[in-house]
């Protein structure tokens, strides 16, 4: 098995529909052992059975990344219970509701600061604090989205945060490469997760992506999970600083595919067929 003997930590699982869960499950199926974190007491109760399912029932730790003391405590717990680890999955993002709707220029400084702190700076802080327990040739993975590269309706502040996250991935990759640590990101296509529920018109986004991606479908957490497992494993030992798209090819499209109706008028194709 590809991940046999590997140990890691997954931050950001909300439920079994989470992309982070898909990555964790893929790693488990390939022999990895791992710990997972929870945000607060409410999530602890929800994640307890998931931790059991992943074989890490005793390794369920609190970690609110807005509280530096909890990140430090996480490092101490991992060192005590697991020794060194081989991978980190950072699947944490948040923007206040005002940052996901309305006029972009109306976003407050407080909302901007919160989104950047939770969605971007947390990656730097987690890597810095956990670096002493990272093994040689370890791997760090974070999660992005196409809205960090191109404008996506209703993504607003989170798009800016993802852009910063992708550049943070590249700068961390260069900085930590000398220590044998690889840092990559996955840019997944839209998936119906708890986080996605805060994005307006998300159901239309799913339809649009499926209609215009080369594969004419949306991706699943299992597909993203397998790609994540690859980037965490030694199979990708020569890969760092990359933003790996798992979006059925949507990111390569410069314009929507088109078709012609019976009158010869051009219409947007929908799942490969004229509307």
Contacts of 31 (CB under 8 A, 6+ apart): 1, 2, 3, 4, 5, 6
Q: Which residues are annotated as a binding site for substrate?
A: 95
Residue 163 is encoded by which pair of tokens?
């852009």
Q: Model pTM?
A: 0.91
Rounded-to-integer distance, Cα 207 and Cα 5, Å: 40
Rounded-to-integer distance, Cα 218 and Cα 196, Å: 14
Rounded-to-integer distance, Cα 43 and Cα 20, Å: 14
Per-domain residue ranges of the chain: 7-274
Residue 67 is encoded by which pair of tokens?
């509280």
- Tokens 């309305």 sit on residue: 102
Q: Which residues are catalytic?
A: 145, 155
CATH of 7-274, one of 3.40.50.1370, 3.30.565.10, 1.20.1420.20, 3.40.50.720: 3.40.50.720
Q: Which residues are annotated as a binding site for NAD(+)?
A: 12, 18-19, 64-65, 92, 162, 191-195
- Segment-wise mean pLDDT, segments of 10 residues, the chain, 275 residues: 96 94 97 95 92 87 96 97 97 92 93 97 98 97 96 92 98 98 96 69 84 92 97 98 97 77 58 49
Rounded-to-integer distance, Cα 45 and Cα 202, Å: 28
């Amino acid at each position: 098995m590809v991940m046999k003997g590997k140990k890691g930590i997954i931050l950001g699982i909300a439920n079994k529909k989470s992309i982070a869960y898909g990555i964790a499950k893929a790693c488990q199926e390939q022999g990895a052992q791992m710990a997972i974190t929870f945000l607060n007491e409410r999530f602890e109760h929800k994640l307890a059975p998931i931790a059991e399912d992943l074989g890490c029932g005793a390794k369920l730790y609190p970690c609110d990344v807005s509280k530096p003391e909890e990140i430090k405590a996480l490092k101490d717990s991992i060192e005590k219970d697991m020794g060194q680890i081989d991978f980190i999955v950072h699947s944490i993002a948040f923007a206040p509701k005002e940052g996901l709707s309305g006029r972009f220029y109306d976003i407050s400084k407080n909302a901007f600061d919160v989104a950047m702190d939770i969605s971007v700076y947390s990656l730097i802080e987690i890597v810095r604090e956990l670096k002493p327990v990272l093994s040689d040739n370890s791997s760090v993975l974070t999660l992005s989205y196409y809205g960090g590269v191109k404008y996506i309706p209703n993504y607003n502040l989170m798009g800016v945060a993802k852009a910063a996250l992708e550049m943070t991935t590249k700068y961390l990759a260069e900085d930590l490469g000398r220590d044998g640590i690889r840092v990559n990101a996955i840019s997944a296509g839209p998936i119906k997760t708890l986080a996605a529920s805060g994005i307006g018109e998300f159901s239309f986004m799913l339809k649009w992506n499926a209609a215009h991606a080369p594969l004419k479908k949306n991706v699943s957490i299992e597909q993203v999970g397998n790609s994540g497992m690859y980037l965490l494993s030694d199979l990708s030992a020569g890969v760092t600083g990359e933003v790996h798209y798992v979006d059925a090819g949507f990111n390569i499209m410069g314009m929507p595919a088109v078709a012609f109706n019976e009158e010869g008028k051009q219409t947007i194709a929908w799942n490969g067929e004229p509307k």
